[in-house]
């Protein structure tokens, strides 16, 4: 047996000291970043264009007919919702598509063979998904901000809900990728769970404008709290107190993270 190199010994020492293999994590994280960066026209530019079209169409039709929170123009109200919707959907798409692609093509073995713990895999996949979601969200904001005059009432709330929302959907994408065995199942998860939950979260309307029954139903949707809290950071008004939204969103992240870590640790549908 060949003696271990100094780098390998150092790597073992780092894991022993911190319990986290930083080199392995950064390698997988970088691989995930490059995966969506190399097809940026599809993964970044396309969703930005889609959001711009949503804004142009809805603002043209409803700008003169709808005012939200009393004085907020509809276009200004809509813009943060579209930004958050882009963050959520693209965070989910990144982790879910990466994992199912690796499983279907068989190259998941190259992720499972290295001495990566379930924590390192979780962190790499979810952080890369967050980067994509936040980059797309920032792109949507930069492209559409000139269409409406926005204020920044509480920037820290904006940052907090953007980060937590992208983390939740990145984690949900990881869970979906672990559960799914083919692309059709990922598409079903996105089309029948993620997309309806996003569209019914108050992106295009204030939940307070709904009848009581639908308001109650909306309050069961965790996506609503992500969008509403994010929008509060711009206007200082919202359908729910931002502190309540923060508690719900943080609890959702804790639950989805615990589920994802449990599935990764058990090797469910990964170790065939």
E strand map for 151-217: none
Nearest to 202 by CA among 182, 223, 183, 185: 223
Q: What is the DSSP letter of 270?
A: T
Give residue 66's pLDDT.
72
For position 60, what pLDDT does the model report?
77
| 72 bridge partner residues | 68
Domain ranges across the chain: 20-266
Taking alpha carbons only, the member of 84, 91, 62 closest to residue 141 is 84
| 37-72 confidence digits (pLDDT tens) | 999 999 999 999 999 999 988 887 777 677 777 778
pLDDT of residue 12: 43
**Looking at residue 18, what is its pLDDT?**
60
Number of other CB atoms surrounding residue 142 within 10 Å: 11
Cα-based distances in Å from 250 to 52, 136, 145, 241: 29, 22, 28, 14
pLDDT under 70: residue ranges of the chain:
1-18, 64, 272
Tell me which DSSP letter residue 204 carries. Answer: S
Distances (CA, A) of 270 to 32, 44, 82, 108, 267: 18, 28, 34, 8, 5
Evaluate if pTM is beyond 0.85. Answer: yes
d(CA 80, CA 67): 15
Q: Name the residue with tokens 């020492």.
A: 13
């Amino acid at each position: 047996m060949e003696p271990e190199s100094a780098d390998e010994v150092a790597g073992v020492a780092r894991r022993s000291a911190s319990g986290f293999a930083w080199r392995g994590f950064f390698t997988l994280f970088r691989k995930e970043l490059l995966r969506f960066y190399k097809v940026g026209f599809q993964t970044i530019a396309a969703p930005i264009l889609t959001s711009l079209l949503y804004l142009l169409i809805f603002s043209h039709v409803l700008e003169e007919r709808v005012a939200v929170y009393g004085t907020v123009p509809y276009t200004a109200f809509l813009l943060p919702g579209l930004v958050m919707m882009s963050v959520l959907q693209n965070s989910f798409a990144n982790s879910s598509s990466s994992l199912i692609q690796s499983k279907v093509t068989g190259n998941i073995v190259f992720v499972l063979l290295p001495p990566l713990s379930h924590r390192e895999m979780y962190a790499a996949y979810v952080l890369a998904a967050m980067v994509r979601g936040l980059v797309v969200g920032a792109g949507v904001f930069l492209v559409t901000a000139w269409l409406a005059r926005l204020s920044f009432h509480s920037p820290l709330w904006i940052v907090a809900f953007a980060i937590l929302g992208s983390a939740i959907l990145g984690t949900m994408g990881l869970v979906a990728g672990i559960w799914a065995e083919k692309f059709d199942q990922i598409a079903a998860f996105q089309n029948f769970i993620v997309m309806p939950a996003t569209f019914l979260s108050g992106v295009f309307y204030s939940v307070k404008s709904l009848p009581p029954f639908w308001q109650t139903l909306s309050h069961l949707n965790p996506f609503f709290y992500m969008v509403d809290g994010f929008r509060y950071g711009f206007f200082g008004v919202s359908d729910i107190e931002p502190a309540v939204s923060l508690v719900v969103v943080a609890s959702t992240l804790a639950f989805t993270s615990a589920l994802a870590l449990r599935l990764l640790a058990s090797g469910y549908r990964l170790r065939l």
